[in-house]
Chains A and B, each alone.
Chain A
Amino acid sequence: MVIEVHNLNYSFGSGALTQPVLKGVNITIQKGEIVLMTGPSGSGKTTLLTIIGGLRQASNGSVLILGQQLVNSTDRDKVKIRQQTGYIFQQHNLLKSLSALQNVCMTLEMQYDLTEKERQNRAERILTAVGLGDRLHHLPEALSGGQRQRVSIARALVGQPKIILADEPTASLDRQSGHDAVEILKQLAKESNTTILLVTHDYRILDIADRVVELEDGVVKAVQ
């Protein structure tokens, strides 16, 4: 199991203002599985994703990611999980002063054992794989929305992560480029047997999933 969440509770605020978001979430995802999570806004999808990605501290239940318990974990443990996770954001979240290639290289710059050349080559290969081989040195502002999201997919994948977490990656894209983007994501993930948990509202992309789960009112409700 790559992701094992048991009885996870999470709430915002404290005291009388406590607002429970996750109420006993259970979800298990196997290696290589592509799982889509849908649900109305406010249902806690993003919150769950940030907990799994090691961005948010949970203090209740159990969240085992790649064998690492994230509930009440140290910063060090969370950073380790972040480094093994590729995160794709709702907005592309590219660094606007860096070219596409440099953006992708940012993932690899945490690995000091690579040479500059190796980093560049790997980034170039993955950008070519997402169909941006001719856009390597473009700044994000010179790319279209779909291209930007593909750069951010390349950035998430280039480090060969075990898990990809994607938070509504198609939300700001039109139908065609959204579909293209997740199609590429799926294809590359399947090649490397990467696990994907993708949060989305977008029912147009449900077809890429191995499994669809629904989060509603803080519980995983329907599993197809």
Chain B
Amino acid sequence: MKFINAWYFPARLAWRQLIHDKPKLTAAISGVLFACVLVFMQLGFKDSLYASAASMPLKLNGDLFLIHQQSEAMWRPTQFKRSELMRALGHPAVVEVAPLYLSLTTFKAMDTQVKRTLIVYGYDPDTDLLDIEAIRKMKHALRIKDNVMFDEYSRPEFGPVRQMLEAGQNRTEVNDYKVTIVGIFQLGISFAADGNIVTSDLNFLRIFPNRSANDIDIGVIRLHPDAPIAQVKKELREQLNDFVRIYTYEEILEHERLYWENTAPIGFIFNFGTVMGLIVGMVIVYQILFTEITNYRFEFATLKAMGYQHGYFVRMVFASALILAVLGFVPGYLLSNSLYYLAESQIFIPMLMTPDKIITVFVFILFMCAVAGFLAIHRLKSANPADMF
């Protein structure tokens, strides 16, 4: 009870003083709201970037993956010889190996005729290298010459492909090579490319006449269901040449994530934005609390003369900070929610308002306000009753 009262009374006074000066309260809330929206947007963009960058590797269907050691990220691989992948077959635990070909190239939009870059994936449809049901169902159609499938989640600049397919229009050019779109699947785009196309390995080589079946981008290895993946990886490491890297499924996801986070400056940009948002918000809250204490220092000195102690005012400042955090967070969250929706519908980047993101931002905002309160406390020393009366 004592503990509750020790916080309840200063918090109530803080609240009463805050709502007494509505213009200032509005300014303070706007500051927190601003920081809140900024952080939400930065985290939203960052998460969606990572999520969409991982959408392709996430669907990879295999146990171990070979890529050239010079491949920085999946979207711009260095090719290596198919025979290197075949050597993995020598290991008794390996059941199946399959090459994946991929390349960035242009796609001519069927309605506007404008060319735009996307990624073409090519693999033997029977190997199901991408674990996507829509593609698996179309494996027979994909095997036919010049047939491809199109990712519905590609950017809208490629045209309303689904509607055009339904209307019977399905011919376009990929890398200036005429193809037929025979179906739609859903994968998701990354910052590397605005769209995806999947086709058979043979069609891939038709679209890219200067590519050879012997130069592959990613090698996928499947093991016996009960084979120890880490053990096999170690043994393969000894057999294969040093120029290929061997990754497990988790490792290849991590490799892609780290690329976007560190190698590409994008992760840094968003983290920087987050920190800047918090700093700006903190300065605003600090400024508000500071002037609040300055304006009320006579009243504080009066309370001190009545017997209130320093701790009461410290709790009051923190309570003000907390109240501002909550009052700013709620509208900030609501506004961010609509901005997420806007981002999804206008720039087609998936922005998810997940509970852990909400909690993260709230903790950030709380921390920001607490730091501002902590910085403002020193101003309390100016409220010395002996100097005022």
Name A's B-contacting residues (CB within 8 A).
46, 50, 53, 55-57, 79-80, 82-83, 85, 87, 89-90, 93, 95-98, 102, 106-107, 109-110, 112, 155, 167
Known A87-B306, A97-B16, A112-B1; 16 more pairs at CB < 8 Å: A50-B386, A53-B305, A55-B389, A56-B386, A79-B309, A82-B307, A85-B307, A93-B299, A93-B302, A95-B17, A95-B302, A97-B17, A97-B20, A106-B306, A110-B307, A110-B308
Interface string of B1-40 (1 = CB under 8 A from A): 1100110010001001101110000000000000000000
Residues of A within 8 A of B1 (CB): 112
- Given A55-B389, A56-B386, also A98-B9 (CB < 8 A): no
- Asked if A167 and B306 sit within 8 Å, CB to CB, the answer is no
A59 to B264, CA, bound (A): 67
| Residue contacts A-B, CB under 8 angstroms, 6 given | A95-B13, A97-B20, A98-B16, A102-B16, A106-B306, A112-B2
Which of B298, B303, B306 has most chain A Cβ within 10 Å? Answer: B306
Residues of A within 8 A of B305 (CB): 53, 55, 82, 87, 89
User: Shortest beta-carbon distance, B165 to chain A, in Å?
Assistant: 66
Instruction: Give B9's nearest chain A residue, CB to CB.
Output: A109
Residues of A within 8 A of B2 (CB): 112
Instruction: Give A114's nearest chain B residue, CB to CB.
Output: B5
Residues of B within 8 A of A112 (CB): 1-2, 5-6
Which of B2, B21, B303, B304 has most chain A Cβ within 10 Å? Answer: B303
Residues of B within 8 A of A80 (CB): 307
| Residue from the list B6, B19, B299 in contact with A95, Cβ < 8 A | B299
A57 to B384, CA, bound (A): 12
Residues of A within 8 A of B5 (CB): 112
User: Shortest beta-carbon distance, A21 to chain B, in Å?
Assistant: 13
Instruction: Give B310's nearest chain A residue, CB to CB.
Output: A75
Q: Which 4 A-B pairs have the closest CB atoms?
A: A97-B20, A83-B307, A82-B307, A56-B386
- Asked if B16 and A55 sit within 8 Å, CB to CB, the answer is no
User: Shortest beta-carbon distance, B301 to chain A, in Å?
Assistant: 8
Residues of B within 8 A of A90 (CB): 389
User: Shortest beta-carbon distance, B300 to chain A, in Å?
Assistant: 10
| Residue from the list B6, B17, B306 in contact with A82, Cβ < 8 A | B306
- Asked if A55 and B385 sit within 8 Å, CB to CB, the answer is yes
Residues of A within 8 A of B9 (CB): 109
Instruction: Give A110's nearest chain B residue, CB to CB.
Output: B307
| Residue from the list A50, A79, A83, A155 in contact with B389, Cβ < 8 A | A50
Instruction: Give A82's nearest chain B residue, CB to CB.
Output: B307
- Asked if A167 and B20 sit within 8 Å, CB to CB, the answer is no
A102 to B305, CA, bound (A): 17
Residues of B within 8 A of A106 (CB): 13, 303, 306
Interface string of B274-309 (1 = CB under 8 A from A): 000000000000000000000000110011111111
Which of A85, A93, A167 has most chain B Cβ within 10 Å? Answer: A93
Residues of A within 8 A of B20 (CB): 96-97
Instruction: Give B18's nearest chain A residue, CB to CB.
Output: A97
Residues of A within 8 A of B19 (CB): 97
Residues of B within 8 A of A89 (CB): 302, 305, 389
A53 to B388, CA, bound (A): 14
A180 to B16, CA, bound (A): 31
Residues of B within 8 A of A50 (CB): 385-386, 389
User: Shortest beta-carbon distance, B302 to chain A, in Å?
Assistant: 4
Residues of A within 8 A of B303 (CB): 95, 106
Which of A55, A57, A79, A102 has most chain B Cβ within 10 Å? Answer: A55
User: Shortest beta-carbon distance, A84 to chain B, in Å?
Assistant: 8
A57 to B2, CA, bound (A): 30
| Residue from the list A55, A83, A167 in contact with B386, Cβ < 8 A | A55
Instruction: Give B386's nearest chain A residue, CB to CB.
Output: A56
- Asked if B299 and A96 sit within 8 Å, CB to CB, the answer is yes
Interface string of B128-167 (1 = CB under 8 A from A): 0000000000000000000000000000000000000000
User: Shortest beta-carbon distance, B250 to chain A, in Å?
Assistant: 56
Residues of A within 8 A of B298 (CB): 93
Which of B17, B20, B385 has most chain A Cβ within 10 Å? Answer: B385
A186 to B309, CA, bound (A): 29
Instruction: Give A93's nearest chain B residue, CB to CB.
Output: B302
Residues of B within 8 A of A96 (CB): 20, 299
Instruction: Give A95's nearest chain B residue, CB to CB.
Output: B299
User: Shortest beta-carbon distance, B19 to chain A, in Å?
Assistant: 8
A167 to B389, CA, bound (A): 9
- Asked if B389 and A46 sit within 8 Å, CB to CB, the answer is yes
- Given A96-B20, A96-B299, A112-B1, also A79-B307 (CB < 8 A): yes
Instruction: Give A90's nearest chain B residue, CB to CB.
Output: B389
User: Shortest beta-carbon distance, B315 to chain A, in Å?
Assistant: 13
A73 to B389, CA, bound (A): 20
Residues of A within 8 A of B299 (CB): 93, 95-96
User: Shortest beta-carbon distance, A172 to chain B, in Å?
Assistant: 14
A53 to B1, CA, bound (A): 30
A114 to B328, CA, bound (A): 34
Residues of A within 8 A of B389 (CB): 46, 50, 55, 89-90, 167
User: Shortest beta-carbon distance, A169 to chain B, in Å?
Assistant: 12
Residues of B within 8 A of A102 (CB): 16
A87 to B305, CA, bound (A): 7
Residues of B within 8 A of A95 (CB): 13, 17, 299, 302-303
A83 to B17, CA, bound (A): 23
Residues of A within 8 A of B17 (CB): 95, 97
